[in-house]
A and B are shown apart, each in its own frame.
Chain A
Amino acid sequence: MTQANKKRRVDLYALTWRLPIIVWQFLFFVGPLVFLIAMSFFVVKNYRMVETFELASWERILSRDYFWSSYLYTFGMATFATVLATMLAFPASFALAFKVSANTRRWAMFFLIVPFFTSYLVKTFSWYVILAKTGVVNSLFGYLGLGPYTLLNTWIGTMVGFMTLVLPLLVLLQTLSLSQVDKNLIEAAHNLGSGRFRTIFNVIVPSAKIGLIVGALFCFILSFGDFVSPYYLGGSTPQTLSILIIDTTKSGNQWPRAAVVAICMMVTLFVIAFTSIVFAYRKPKS
């Protein structure tokens, strides 16, 4: 009998609350992104951007090997980061969801939110110092008679940065979805004689599928778009797409070309996001 107090006729009052986001997002979110697409067809003449419709920037970027190698490297790194982070996060999320008290879990969740509000740049700089040839890690290895190892300006450095960026969010999302798995289901699987690992992979993972996939998707989006770790910890060789955008924009002043790279990134992310969401919500075959 609860008839929600929802009105059909749009009135001044309703519009007052509904319009701000529409206006704002069209002006400063949709507008810029649409303009980005338009800009990819502009050309730069005498250091000035001319608003026209030419495919020059598209032809230029898509025909260059450095773009494609950069694309493959970025895609590969993001994929690897996603797989690595998912594997690293899962045992921790599993422990948080099933092995600790509710109170510990609440605190852990709070501490997983904290890194989100701490400067990623400062953390990256910190890693830069820690991972350097004469840094903390190598001096610890030194005590063991090992090293020094080159960790900076390699893919290892980039991965350390990516993990700092994505692990807190990923553990948070995984824990949330794992703690929603019906405990009775797990109990039932145990009673039916299912072993630990079989229970995890046949019962828990499928039940928490959506959360796990959404977590992995965020991982991919973040690592695919990040420029800080590949630049400062990975030494920006090979270049990732984000670094390509920065270089093209900041030094080359070739905004249309940067726009082409940005659109390629957006399309890639859109396809990945769409596929994973379809996959996440697909009904399991019985």
Chain B
Amino acid sequence: MVNPDRPLVQFKNVVKRFGNFVALKSTDLDIHEGEFVALMGPSGCGKTTTLRLLAGLEKPSEGEITLGGKLMNDVKAHERETPLVWQSLALFPFMNARENVEFGLKMRGFNADVRREKAIDWLERLGMEEFIERDVSQLSGGQRQRVALARALVTEPKILLLDEPLSALDAHLVIRMQGVLSKLQRELGITFVYVTHSQSEAFAMADRVVIMGDGEVMQIGTAREIYRTPKNRFVAEFVGRNNIISGTVTSAHTDTLIVNTACGDFTVSKPDDLVFKQNDPITFSVSADLVTIDVDRPETDNVVQCNLISEEFVGSVVTLFLEAADGTELKVQVQEKELQKINPKADIPYYISWPTLSAHVLDANLPG
């Protein structure tokens, strides 16, 4: 699906300021045809601003935005083909489902019969055949979601923008709608740009994830790349369940570095793209699910003795929160069924360890 040769959307040095507040720092971003891109970050990171710039609801303060090779900076919102599914859904409350879907066609001058036919087609396609003439106030959350989708898609756009569309839904509906959205995107083959703060939504659906923070793009990559090899501290912290450890390089070998930290000495793999000398400060992360916990000290490198502070159960996965002698907090993720092996009691020492390859060095020069 992904066609890397011709980006559908290009942001070149785009800056957006609101008065003195910089919502988006100089940003470059390519989005390709047929791609499912998620913009993810905490609130205030600039992800919604990026989406609004793309829809023409905000004008860039600097830089260029192109869509299909055409410069969009001065194209008004209503002259663009960039339908948006709103966080609040923004369904027109005094219209029924069909009238909502027809709206975009009406504004483009389609006659009533064509409008009606297309609107009904789309509502049926999204499983809403029973609710075509229903007032939107009488629809459930999931049904309203489908009306919003149909309304955005009825004009057959090349690109669909989605602003946290699932944030108002119940957890079980979110999973279902994720399925609906993924399937729809594959079938239509159009570009989806999906703004969310939810990692599970982004990782579940997107071909590429753009992590944003503080008005900047922090990392672009597949879900796996971002999860396993976060570029900097911001991404490592935002993605969560990473142990982030800082120290200094005591010696550099061919493939590895020895790092001295407050909670011990560790071996990490030398990163390909960064150079470290002796005494350089260094930060690395270890994903909590790659860490092992034992009652007896294992005979390997990278071991820390800790006390168990607390546990968190999410389904069959348990996260254990531990503390090293110096106060460093560490996290371990294990399957619930493995938990019995270590018999968690707060008052005995535990040993946690990880393979050298699991430690991933973060780029301290990048912001975050």
A residues at B contact (CB < 8 Å): 1, 3, 5
Interface size on B, residues (CB 8 A): 10
Residues 32-66 of chain B: 1 if any A CB is under 8 Å from the residue's CB, otherwise 0? 00000000000110011100100001100000000
B18 located at the interface, meaning its Cβ lies under 8 Å from any Cβ of chain A in the complex: yes
Give the shortest distance, in Å, between B79 (CB) and chain A (any CB).
15
- Whole-angstrom distance between the alpha carbons of A206 and B23 in the complex? 42
Give the shortest distance, in Å, between B333 (CB) and chain A (any CB).
30
Residues in A with CB closer than 8 Å to B52 are 3
- Give the nearest-CB partner of B46 in chain A: A1
Q: List 12 A-B contacts (CB under 8 A).
A: A1-B43, A1-B44, A1-B47, A1-B48, A1-B49, A3-B18, A3-B23, A3-B48, A3-B49, A3-B52, A3-B58, A5-B57
Residues 232-273 of chain B: 1 if any A CB is under 8 Å from the residue's CB, otherwise 0? 000000000000000000000000000000000000000000
- Whole-angstrom distance between the alpha carbons of A162 and B52 in the complex? 56
- Whole-angstrom distance between the alpha carbons of A168 and B147 in the complex? 47
Residues in B with CB closer than 8 Å to A1 are 43-44, 47-49
Residues in B with CB closer than 8 Å to A3 are 18, 23, 48-49, 52, 58
Residues in B with CB closer than 8 Å to A5 are 57
- Whole-angstrom distance between the alpha carbons of A1 and B43 in the complex? 6
- Give the nearest-CB partner of B45 in chain A: A1
B residues at A contact (CB < 8 Å): 18, 23, 43-44, 47-49, 52, 57-58
- Whole-angstrom distance between the alpha carbons of A3 and B215 in the complex? 14
Residues in A with CB closer than 8 Å to B43 are 1
- Whole-angstrom distance between the alpha carbons of A265 and B58 in the complex? 50
Give the shortest distance, in Å, between B89 (CB) and chain A (any CB).
15
- Give the nearest-CB partner of A5 in chain B: B57
In the complex, given contacts A3-B48, A3-B49, what are 6 additional A-B residue pairs having Cβ atoms less than 8 angstroms apart? A1-B43, A1-B44, A1-B47, A1-B49, A3-B18, A3-B58
Give the shortest distance, in Å, between A7 (CB) and chain B (any CB).
9
Give the shortest distance, in Å, between A118 (CB) and chain B (any CB).
33
- Whole-angstrom distance between the alpha carbons of A5 and B77 in the complex? 12
- Whole-angstrom distance between the alpha carbons of A1 and B48 in the complex? 7
Give the shortest distance, in Å, between A34 (CB) and chain B (any CB).
36
Give the shortest distance, in Å, between A1 (CB) and chain B (any CB).
4
Give the shortest distance, in Å, between B258 (CB) and chain A (any CB).
43
Give the shortest distance, in Å, between A271 (CB) and chain B (any CB).
38
Give the shortest distance, in Å, between B283 (CB) and chain A (any CB).
29
- Give the nearest-CB partner of B57 in chain A: A5
Give the shortest distance, in Å, between B129 (CB) and chain A (any CB).
34
Give the shortest distance, in Å, between B40 (CB) and chain A (any CB).
13
- Whole-angstrom distance between the alpha carbons of A3 and B51 in the complex? 12
- Whole-angstrom distance between the alpha carbons of A3 and B52 in the complex? 9
Residues in A with CB closer than 8 Å to B47 are 1
Q: Please give me the 8 A-B residue pairs with the lowest Cβ-Cβ distance, nearest first.
A: A1-B48, A1-B43, A1-B44, A3-B18, A5-B57, A3-B58, A3-B52, A3-B49
- Whole-angstrom distance between the alpha carbons of A223 and B44 in the complex? 52
- Give the nearest-CB partner of A1 in chain B: B48
Give the shortest distance, in Å, between B190 (CB) and chain A (any CB).
25
Give the shortest distance, in Å, between B273 (CB) and chain A (any CB).
33
Residues in A with CB closer than 8 Å to B23 are 3
Give the shortest distance, in Å, between A9 (CB) and chain B (any CB).
10
Residues in A with CB closer than 8 Å to B57 are 5
Residues in A with CB closer than 8 Å to B44 are 1
Give the shortest distance, in Å, between B157 (CB) and chain A (any CB).
21
- Whole-angstrom distance between the alpha carbons of A3 and B23 in the complex? 10
- Whole-angstrom distance between the alpha carbons of A5 and B47 in the complex? 16
- Whole-angstrom distance between the alpha carbons of A186 and B52 in the complex? 47
- Whole-angstrom distance between the alpha carbons of A1 and B52 in the complex? 11
Give the shortest distance, in Å, between A8 (CB) and chain B (any CB).
9
- Whole-angstrom distance between the alpha carbons of A1 and B41 in the complex? 11
- Whole-angstrom distance between the alpha carbons of A5 and B57 in the complex? 8
- Give the nearest-CB partner of A7 in chain B: B59
- Whole-angstrom distance between the alpha carbons of A5 and B48 in the complex? 13
- Give the nearest-CB partner of B163 in chain A: A1
Residues in A with CB closer than 8 Å to B49 are 1, 3
- Whole-angstrom distance between the alpha carbons of A1 and B42 in the complex? 10
- Whole-angstrom distance between the alpha carbons of A5 and B55 in the complex? 13
Give the shortest distance, in Å, between A4 (CB) and chain B (any CB).
10
